[in-house]
Structure 1
Amino acid sequence: MPLIDLGGEGVLLAGGGRAILLQLADPAIGHAVAEHSSFATDPLRRLRNTLTYVYALVFGTPAQIAKVTAMVHRAHEPVRSAGYDAADTRLQLWVAATLYDTATVLHSRIFGPLTDADADEVYREYAVVGTALGMPPELWPPDRAAFRSYWEHRLTELRVDDAARGVCRQLLHPKTGPLWLRAVMPAAGLVTAGLLPAELRAAYGLPWSARRARRFDRFLRVTAFVYPRLPRGLRHWPKNHYLRVLG
């Protein structure tokens, strides 16, 4: 399965909160986002920008790829906080890693595991998410086993502090934005908490219990039954929409 098949599935949006909170748990990223982000006034912006970036890299024309790459670099230029530099290849690798891991975890829960050949192909192609930011290609771990070692080690380095928890509250409990967004956030918060590693879930102070775990598992079971049976055009609507808006 090439990335172009996996990456267009709209259900991957359900993992957006997980990817963002994993990124914020690196204090360099967390503090930069807390100081410069627009979560409080535009809670959808970071997710919207991330989706546009990934969709353009995977599905876009050369002009669209150039456009989103330039947009990302312009957005990063003024962002400097203690210990943070958007050109830091280590942080670029971490951002790409959170997007890859989240997509594959959620895809596996909804569609079942990929074959080894498909999983290897998707993994190799996902490096573009980081290299488009400026990450050297050789920094992407050479195979899935190497990535798993990198991932497990990286999780031990994460630290959730007050700055990251503050952005988490803005993300999962927005006070602004459309009514539909605020209406779906309880469900989005449940899915985000359920997809996070238990240690990070606790560090962010996200509520969890046996009852919430059952609700989370039931949600994924229902989604895994219903979603793959939807028309492909409906499943890929977010991708098509964001590419149209990008122009």
Structure 2
Amino acid sequence: MDDAAAARSGGSAQGLRERLGAELFARVAGPDGPAVRQRIHGRPGPRWFGPERPIRTVHGDAAMFVGGLRALLLQSLHPLAMAAVAAHSGFRSDPWGRLQRTSTFLAVTTFGTAEDAQAAVDRVRAVHARINGTTASGQSYRAADPHLLGWVHTAEVDSFLRAHQAFGAAPLDAAGCDGYLADTAHVASALGVLDPPRDRDELAARLRAYGPELAATAQARDTARFLLLHPPLPLAARPAYTALAGAAVSLLPRESRRLLGLPTVPLLEPAVVRPAGRAVVRLIRWAMAGPPPPEQQPG
């Protein structure tokens, strides 16, 4: 290949990278994404977490796409949490809006100033305070219930950590895994979770404790079908999404899959599902890579 051809090839690859990265960022961050990103990373001031903290490693990696899907599937198995989401979150009518709000909250609390992180937490707590209702079976729920918040947090951090360890660019060592849970416990406590898990032993114990409360409700199975079979995506994006969804399902506990009516094919996962998931995560990581954000003073 001569120099001119090499330059054209490099330019074409860079153009593809920029287009794909911009499309992904717009989906995840929304129309105000660039301004929000500038504020998160560019505003001076103390942070809850310094650049060396494990929470930044996990939440800054493309494996979060897998972890987020797994978290939604796992969280749906708690009937009260699922009822609250179905009635109040708008995840069907505005799934991208919900994703954008969640990703912004994670970004602000992980990378933003301590002032902005606390403001984000205060907004979420104000929303939770207004959400309450009754399930189809007559059980009442409150989004601000610390026990229910504890399930949402536990399922979320378990999913993010497992996805990172399986698909992340730099899996954490044992101390890093515990450090990640200690970091996320800080955010969870601010949100109203009582005594969130701070290491892997506590996380495993908390998951076991919630086990008897989980159930295969019609809402949970309907949510799984929506997320896995009918995502609001153009046809061209479906193959990549299918790989991410398969990777997320492969990380679920066997009992969770059974409750959701999802298949278990142990021999297929190491051979097909996990490699396909890694390939798509690498593609996302490549597309969204950019200049490192300016480092600010941690709190």
Q: Please tell me the TM-score bracket, short chain as reference.
A: 0.7 to 0.9
Which structure is richer in relative contact order (CA contacts within 8 A, separation 6 or more)?
1
Matched, 1:168 2:168: no
Partner in structure 1 of residue 109 of structure 2: 57
* Structure 1 segments unaligned to the other structure (5+ residues): 241-247
Summarize deviations over 1:98-147 as a string: whole Å, max 9, x none.
221112111211357533332232221110231231224xx123543222
- Measured at CA, do residues 186 and 7 of structure 1 come closer, stay the same or move farther in structure 2, by a change above 3 Å? closer
* Structure label with greater radius of gyration: 2
Tell me, yes or no, if the aligned pair for 1:32 and 1:79 is still in contact at 8 Å: yes
Cα RMSD, aligned residues only: 3.1
Summarize deviations over 1:190-237 as a string: whole Å, max 9, x none.
12211111111122122343564232132255468x579x66x93479
Tell me, yes or no, if the aligned pair for 1:40 and 1:175 is still in contact at 8 Å: no
TM-superposed deviation, 1:56: 0.9
Q: Which amino acid aligns with 2:60?
A: G
TM-score by length of 2: 0.67
Tell me, yes or no, if the aligned pair for 1:17 and 1:192 is still in contact at 8 Å: yes
Q: Which amino acid aligns with 1:94?
A: W
- Measured at CA, do residues 180 and 41 of structure 1 come closer, stay the same or move farther in structure 2, by a change above 3 Å? farther
Aligned residues: 234
- Measured at CA, do residues 120 and 210 of structure 1 come closer, stay the same or move farther in structure 2, by a change above 3 Å? closer
Matched, 1:153 2:209: yes
Cα distance in 1 for residues equivalent to 2:185 and 2:236: 34
Matched, 1:95 2:152: yes
TM-superposed deviation, 1:164: 1.3
TM-superposed deviation, 1:167: 2.1
TM-superposed deviation, 1:162: 0.3
- Measured at CA, do residues 56 and 152 of structure 1 come closer, stay the same or move farther in structure 2, by a change above 3 Å? same
Partner in structure 2 of residue 234 of structure 1: 288
TM-score by length of 1: 0.79
Partner in structure 2 of residue 243 of structure 1: none
Matched, 1:78 2:130: yes
Matched, 1:8 2:60: yes
Cα distance in 2 for residues equivalent to 1:112 and 1:9: 9
- Measured at CA, do residues 73 and 177 of structure 1 come closer, stay the same or move farther in structure 2, by a change above 3 Å? farther
Structure 1 residue matching 2:245: 3-state secondary structure: helix
TM-superposed deviation, 1:189: 2.6
Cα distance in 2 for residues equivalent to 1:236 and 1:204: 38
Partner in structure 2 of residue 141 of structure 1: 197
Identity %: 29
Cα distance in 2 for residues equivalent to 1:176 and 1:108: 28
- Measured at CA, do residues 122 and 63 of structure 1 come closer, stay the same or move farther in structure 2, by a change above 3 Å? same
Task: Select the structure that is richer in helix.
Answer: 1
